[in-house]
Amino acid sequence: MCSRTSRNSRTGRPRSIEADTAILEATRAALVDLGWSKLTMGDVAGRAGVAKTTLYRRWANKNELVVDAVAVLFDELELPDLGSLRADIEHVVLQFAALLERPETKTALMAVVAESTRDAPLRERIRASIVDRQKRLVLDGRRRAQQRGELPSDRDPTTVEATDDLIFDVIAGAVVHRALVSAEPVDGQWVARLSALLVGGLGAVATLGE
């Protein structure tokens, strides 16, 4: 989860687990207080009651530390079966939006993604600990909708995968763009429009008034 140099050796003094959690907690607190750009390794070390060198023994740089600190928040995401595709979509979107509204994730997520465009290991770390965790929700939602008969069953497996990827990018991208770029609230009304668009297309959402 954390260190890249964890050469799980059975000898020597073991790494403090408490230090791990304290550092990640301190990182989130620093994100809230200072934001991404003004967060420094020294500050996090001070908050966590840990030497700065200890941070560098576990994380190579600020980016990887912040990814791990934020990633655990995505564990909360769940997809209870609410009985219909639209209800499932709206619920998970609201959950995701609530996560994005938190000041820790708000300032950190885009920053690390920006860094990942020039840092392949960081991109992989984000994918494994954040993106894939969200993507599972799409797979589950589609499977349920097919079982209910709301969506046609699978044909070509490659088509299915491409469609899942598309839906994921559309939903996650729309929420992120709404929350961080447009900087408008992701409320029930907006989510209702989004799910109407996804299920019925542009024609459906345009006549949503009546």
Residues that bind DNA (CB under 7 A): 5-7, 9-16, 19, 38, 40-43, 49-54, 56-58, 61-62
* Contact of 48 with 76, CB cutoff 8 Å: no
The structure tokens listed for 34 are 């200072």
The listed partner (DNA, a copy of itself, none) that binds 180, CB under 5 to 8 Å by sort, is a copy of itself
Looking at this protein, which amino acid is placed at residue 134?
Q
Closest C-alpha to 99, from 172, 197, 162:
172
Return the biggest CA–CA distance within the chain.
70
Q: Which of 41, 73, 98, 151 binds a copy of itself (CB under 8 A)?
A: 151
Name which of 9 and 207 has its Cβ closer to DNA: 9
- Binding-site size for a copy of itself (CB under 8 A) equals 63
* Contact of 119 with 112, CB cutoff 8 Å: no
> What SS3 class is residue 203?
helix
Query: Is residue 12 near a copy of itself by the rule CB under 8 A?
Result: no
Query: Is residue 8 near a copy of itself by the rule CB under 8 A?
Result: no
The listed partner (DNA, a copy of itself, none) that binds 109, CB under 5 to 8 Å by sort, is a copy of itself
Rounded to 5 degrees, what are φ and ψ at 112? -70, -35
- Nearest-approach distance from CB 151 to a copy of itself, in angstroms: 5
Q: Which of 58, 106, 125, 144 binds a copy of itself (CB under 8 A)?
A: 106
Please state, in angstroms and rounded to a whole number, the distance separating the CA atoms of residues 95 and 76.
9
* Contact of 88 with 144, CB cutoff 8 Å: yes
Applying CB under 8 A, which residues contact a copy of itself? 35-37, 85, 106-111, 113-118, 123, 126, 131, 145, 151-152, 155-156, 159, 162-163, 165-170, 172-178, 180-184, 189-190, 193-194, 197-210
